[in-house]
Amino acid sequence: MEKDCLFCKISHGQMGTDFLLENDNLVVFRDINPHAPVHLLIVPKRHIRSINDLTESDNQILAEMIMTARQMAQKEKINASGYKLLFNVEKGGGQVIFHLHLHLIGGWNK
């Protein structure tokens, strides 16, 4: 856990965030500034700064994040209508919190 990392604090239960899902490896919670009717964050508990900091040993956590996003899309009932999965990478790519996280975005009625 990184001392000053917001997502480390959240994922380790230090911020009072309501988790939609929690297991040994990750947590899922609603984005506080949603860009869609459904905007969830899938966050590993282990601190990984960004996609650029991944190693071969991180393949399993990435797969788990994506499969969890799929599961949460079903739970939120947006799997049939469609959704986006998004990683922001570094400042130029829109990353604001430097702890790896996957956005699940959807729920638009079009």
Domain range list for the chain: 6-106
Q: Which of 39, 99, 101, 103 is catalytic?
A: 101
Task: Give percent of the chain above pLDDT 70.
Answer: 99
| 35 in active site | no
Who's near 34: CB < 8 A, 6+ residues apart?
none
Give pTM, 2 decimals: 0.94
- Residue 110 has a pLDDT of 58
CATH number of the structural domain 6-106: 3.30.428.10
For residue 85, which of 69, 62, 96 has the smallest C-alpha distance? Answer: 69
Cα-flanking dihedrals φ and ψ of residue 27, to 5°?
-130, 155
Burial class (CB in 10 A: 0-12, 13-18, 19+), 49: middle
- Residue 3 has a pLDDT of 81
The answer to whether residue 106 scores a pLDDT higher than 70 is yes
Euclidean distance between CA atoms 69 and 13, whole angstroms: 21
Residue 96, by phi and psi: left (phi above 0), alpha (psi -120 to 50) or beta? alpha
Residue 81 DSSP code? T
- The average pLDDT across 21-49 equals 97
Q: How confident is the model at residue 2 (pLDDT cuts 50, 70, 90)?
A: confident
